[in-house]
A = this chain, B = another copy of it.
Amino acid sequence: MSTLRADAQRNLERVLDAATEVFAVSGPDASVDEIARRAGVGHATVFRRFPTKADLMYAVVERHVDELRSLAEKALASPDPGEAFFGFVRGAAELGMTLPGLQKCVVECGEKPGAAELEQLMDRIVSRAQRAGAVRRDLKPRDVGSLIRAALFAAPPEQWRSYLDVVLEGLKPAASR
């Protein structure tokens, strides 16, 4: 696996770190030059590891998606479906809101990396909550996801909790309103 020369390995990590920072701030419009500069390498070095800017973005997003996936797995382990759902969402938001620009990147990626798996987990969390009557049933799990992402995305930095709260209230079934 790691047949990479020591300096190459070091640069690869620097690039990934820099890319994460930069994408997290500027979203998918961040330029490769900016990332290379921040990493302290020439931009050709970036393109050598990631033939395409998109490839680099996938790599960055994938890391992030991994963290979310472990959160999702924890949620599925919880016995109370409603609790699991609302807890997961708040946790994921807490995580995602520290790297705002990445949201746009995830969307832009068209769910390419290991995200399919994450999507599946989320679908299960949501539909379980729906079956348990904790979430309204007239929406597909995917829609629940985009609705939440949209609210977080639009929220000013210090207020995303209120925005999220509105959507979560709206997601409760009419019965519990």
A171 near B: Cβ within 8 Å? yes
Q: Residue-by-residue, is A139-177 near B (CB-CB < 8 Å gives 1, otherwise 0)?
A: 100010011011101111001001101111111100011
Q: Tell me whether A154 and B149 are in contact in the complex, defined as CB-CB below 8 angstroms, given that A170-B169, A170-B171, A171-B170 are known contacts.
A: yes
By beta carbon, the residue of chain B nearest A146 is B154
- Measured as residues with beta carbon below 8 angstroms from the partner, the interface class of chain A is 20 to 34
Query: How many identical chains are in the complex?
Result: 2
A7 near B: Cβ within 8 Å? no
Query: Chain B residues near A139 (CB, 8 Å)?
Result: 162, 166
Query: Chain B residues near A147 (CB, 8 Å)?
Result: 151, 154, 163, 166-167
Question: B143, A163: Cβ atoms under 8 Å?
Answer: yes
By beta carbon, the residue of chain B nearest A169 is B170
Query: Distance in Å from the Cβ of A121 to the closest Cβ of chain B?
Result: 21
Query: Chain B residues near A168 (CB, 8 Å)?
Result: 170
